[in-house]
Structure 1
Amino acid sequence: MSPGTTYEGDATHYDAADGNGACSFRPSDDMMIVAMNETDYETAGACGASVLVRAANGRSVTVRVTNVCPLPCAPGQLDLSKQAFAELADPMLGRIPVTWSLLSPDTADTISIRYKGGSSQW
């Protein structure tokens, strides 16, 4: 993914439960999250990235990458949390065309590293 580039694909939704996923972030109350397709996920390189998603109806939502969407998710496809999808369209639609782009998040937060359980010293 490259900042300033607009990508096209479909958005679907899933039950993101507590917001934890393949990126190994801690559970969160912030459910504006997305599972990125394997191609754009870039072997976890997209973890934590902020993505602006726009629907054809003009509505948009900013989400954070916390998970990977395995096949059959196609390149460009986003699997949004149900809460994030509802910001764009009625979840009963199930799938909508979207465009999306990578954002640089504004944050003054301290960055931390979390080691996943079972990690070795290497």
Structure 2
Amino acid sequence: MTKFTSLLLITTAAIASFSSAAPIVSPTTTVVPTDIPTAVEPTVPEPTIVAFKDNSAFASSVKYTGKATWFTDSYGSCNVNWDGNVEPTVALNAHQMGEQSWGNSACGQKVHITNKANQKTVVARVVDKCPGDECAWGSLDLSPAAFTEIGELDSGILNVEWSYI
């Protein structure tokens, strides 16, 4: 009987030491580590808001680059009528103009546009908004009067640099 009691005590001690040292993993047990960082979904950065030295959203010292296309219309998101065959006007891209249309502070602003290929320039008035899917950040849609001052309508697209004045 002493042998049986001793064997029982040794077996119990061995099981106790193993069970406290490590968990028993069966084929159906899932071990989830707790020290692995969770995955973070990538985010698309928002456009950078530029802080101008003169605290103006329309600082003439800031140059933008983009594509210039042309359009024919006579009324747009700034709630003004114009004749784009006579007056150099521009539709500002929606990314820079923002969501607001009527009463937008960009409406009526003048921009100085340079065709990067031939260095010809024109000054045009912002009268409309070019939709985001048609005009990328920095791009402008010009009236025929503005476009023909710096390029040929047949070219359709110009590489430009521009700034507010």
- TM-score between both structures, scaled by the size of structure 2: 0.57
Separation of aligned partners in 2, 1:2 and 1:26? 23
Query: 1:1-122 alignment to 2 at 5 Å?
Result: 1-3=57-59, 4-16=61-73, 18=74, 20-28=75-83, 30-42=86-98, 43=100, 44-56=104-116, 57-70=118-131, 71-103=133-165
Greater RCO (Cα-Cα under 8 Å, separation 6 or more): 1
| RMSD, aligned CA | 1.6
* Larger of the two Rg values belongs to structure: 2
Structure that is richer in helix per residue: 2
Separation of aligned partners in 2, 1:47 and 1:2? 11
Structure that is richer in strand per residue: 1
Cα deviation for residue 72 of structure 1 reads 2.4
Cα deviation for residue 28 of structure 1 reads 4.9
Number of equivalences: 101
Structure 1's unaligned 5+ residue stretches are 104-122
Cα deviation for residue 58 of structure 1 reads 1.1
Separation of aligned partners in 2, 1:27 and 1:69? 16
- TM-score between both structures, scaled by the size of structure 1: 0.76
Cα deviation for residue 54 of structure 1 reads 0.3
Structure 2's unaligned 5+ residue stretches are 1-56
Separation of aligned partners in 2, 1:27 and 1:73? 21
Matched residue SS, 1:40: helix
Cα deviation for residue 49 of structure 1 reads 0.5
Cα deviation for residue 25 of structure 1 reads 1.4
